[in-house]
Amino acid sequence: MSNSLDSLSPKELGLRLRISREAVGLTQAEAADRLFISRTTLVAIEQGKRTVKDSELIRLCDAYGVSLNTLLRKEAVHVDLLPRFRKMPEQESSGIAEAVAILNDLVSAEVELEQLLGIERVSRLPPERSLLPGDVRKQAEEDAQDLRKFLGLGKSPIIDLFALLDLELGVRVYFHPLSQKVSGLFAYDESLGACILINSNHRWERQVQTGAHELGHVVSARQDIDINQEGPHENSRKERYANAFAPAFLMPTRTVMQKFNEICAGSKRLTRRHVIVLAHYFGVSREGLVRRLEELGLAPEGTWDWFEKNGGITDKQTADVLGFVRGDLASFAYKSKGSLRLEMLAAQALDRELLSEGQVASLLGIDRLEVRELCDYLEDGHNGTHQLSF
Amino acid sequence: MALISCLSEHQSPVVLDSSVVVNLNATGAASQLLSLMPMEVHVPYPVLRELERGGARGHQDATLLTGLAESKLVQIVELPEAATSTYLRLMSGSSRNSLGDGEAATIALANAANVSAVIDEKKARRIGREQFPQLLIASTVDLLAIPEIVGSLKEAELSGVLFNALTSARMQVHEPYVEWVVGQLDDALLEQCTSLPSRFRIPLAAG
């Protein structure tokens, strides 16, 4: 091995090369062809049994589209969530493989930054609830209320679900543009914790619904990964649980009944204005709110379908009633380079010169200009900015 | 106040890092500025590849760089064998002491060719100075302050070029040059230059 690489063992380097190859979906034979080496040579390199030459290493990284520094950097974290998703039939769908790779990269980036900065991420997940025999929807309702009590939420609506997930429960939550059909992913690992990826291309209300659904998986069936996408839904017990958990968590039964009574008092029918105000109160989509009302027997079954057939409940109507439309605002997530926490960690690493611009760009999969934006609002001590002592 | 650029009267080639390419593109006058430079300008291939990866997010630096190469204003060069070992070494080891691909390539190429590197990135400049004390490491401001450019641009043009680099690219300006850069800009423009130290942008509170 070249002296330039002797801080990384051949086995570790080989493992990283294998993960990088698999991340771009190349077989060993395909990769070997591109490099004009034999498959057995590549196998030996990946197993750490054969020293990789400098020129081969450069060509391998070119072929895999990965940064050499990412591969060689000692503290680079190479999370490998891919094999878990590979077992699911859905992962062959378009967009899923890409989403899994994105989640993998974002988790790797965050873990590496934590290690570099000497920060330990604290997970405060409650013990997992197993799925018991019987009605999973009732279990989900009860578990959702128990979690609300655990978090001290009482009966109040949730102002920011993602801040709750991240800052209260210690869940790693990321936003990234994904294929339109993919709402989100969930994976759990003992060392990494719970990890959720949300499609930043979706409207805010749909993101919240996805987040709450994935939270259902965090609470129960934690060890199973989840792919949340459009199309025929899996009808497993754990999916039915998560589907019931989300509205129960966001819109607790008694609170919905109470607010419904207050808002709709004196009316003989449910109007668009009622739906808009209640959805705004709970921070959910108009459809989500109406379906919850149907579920709780506060609106006849088919109410949402009626609204849809009769012009829907539009953003303009919402803006007229509320004075703004939350879903029209680019959510912070849409512009985020992964997550707010990830951005803060990266900015600190830059400020302390633990990582360079180029390293942060490749770590977060962003360009130089976006890296520089991370440094906005880093105080430079002018006007007596307070120093923090830990 | 005049600035003596460390690239004044510099005739041998310079090697640009991604950080500098991004700044030059942001000036909106990269072609004009490069055509005024008396020295050859080289950019290592890993810098282009790095910018291409960033291009997936919508910014056009790789495309612009390729255009400059087609116009023969810059040369995109492969790393020679003599630079490979240094290149890989600069990217290996601990995160704290290693660099990104483009940064490592710029230093390795400049060192192997015995020419100057142009890098704005703080950590890369530090590691470059520590490990290659004989290597001249210049910055974007050094390029913009060479007599051929300062002498050819009108005051307003130079101000515009600097303002664009500072605002569109958040160009870093290193300490000996801050006052000169600030001197080229009106107060009203300075407020918008968030990459400059705040003491130049935010007046101290009275009392």
Compute the distance between CA of residue B190 and CA of residue A56 in angstroms, rounded to an integer.
48
CA A153 to chain centre: 22
Angle (deg, nearest 10), helices A286-295 and A237-250: 100
What digits encode the pLDDT tens for the residues A58-75? 989 888 988 899 889 888
**How large is the average pLDDT for residues B134-148?**
95
More confident residue, B56 or B173: B173
Nearest to A369 among B22, B94, B101 (CB): B22
Inter-chain residue contact A372 with B89, CB threshold 8 Å: no
What digits encode the pLDDT tens for the residues B72-84? 999 999 999 999 9
φ and ψ at residue B180, rounded to 5 degrees: -65, -45
In degrees, rounded to 5, the angle at the alpha carbon of residue B88 between the alpha carbons of residues B133 and A15 is: 145
φ and ψ at residue A228, rounded to 5 degrees: -105, 110
Compute the radius of gyration of chain B from its Cα atoms: 17
Of the pLDDT bands very low, low, confident and very high (cuts 50, 70, 90), residue B205 is very low
- The ipTM is 0.93
With a cut of 90, say whether residue A282 has pLDDT above it: yes
Q: Is A379 on the interface with B (CB under 8 A)?
A: yes
Across chain A, the runs of DSSP E, i.e. the strands, are: 172-176, 182-189, 193-199, 226-229
Of the pLDDT bands very low, low, confident and very high (cuts 50, 70, 90), residue A78 is confident
Nearest chain B Cα to A357, which residue? Answer: B121
With a cut of 90, say whether residue A89 has pLDDT above it: no
**Number of alpha helices (DSSP H) and beta strands (DSSP E) in chain A:** 20, 4
Inter-chain residue contact A367 with B61, CB threshold 8 Å: yes
Residue A334 pLDDT: 45
Inter-chain residue contact A358 with B199, CB threshold 8 Å: no
Burial environment of residue A84 by CB neighbours within 10 A (0 to 12, 13 to 18, 19 or more): middle
**How large is the average pLDDT for residues A126-131?**
90
What digits encode the pLDDT tens for the residues A297-328? 999 999 999 999 999 999 889 989 998 766 55
Q: Is B96 on the interface with A (CB under 8 A)?
A: yes
N-terminal to C-terminal alpha carbon distance within chain B: 30
Task: Yes or no: say if B25 and B73 are a contact pair by the CB < 8 Å rule.
Answer: no
Alpha-helix residue ranges (DSSP H) falling in A47-171: 54-64, 68-72, 82-86, 96-117, 136-150, 161-163
In angstroms, what separates the C-alpha of A163 from chain B's closest C-alpha?
Answer: 26
Nearest to A370 among B57, B99, B194 (CB): B57
What digits encode the pLDDT tens for the residues A172-185? 999 988 988 899 99
Nearest to A68 among B85, B101, B197 (CB): B101
Compute the distance between CA of residue A217 and CA of residue A103 in angstroms, rounded to an integer.
17
Residue A358 pLDDT: 94
- Chain B residues with CB under 8 Å of A67 CB are 50, 53, 100-101
Q: Is B16 on the interface with A (CB under 8 A)?
A: no
In angstroms, what separates the C-alpha of A249 from chain B's closest C-alpha?
Answer: 35
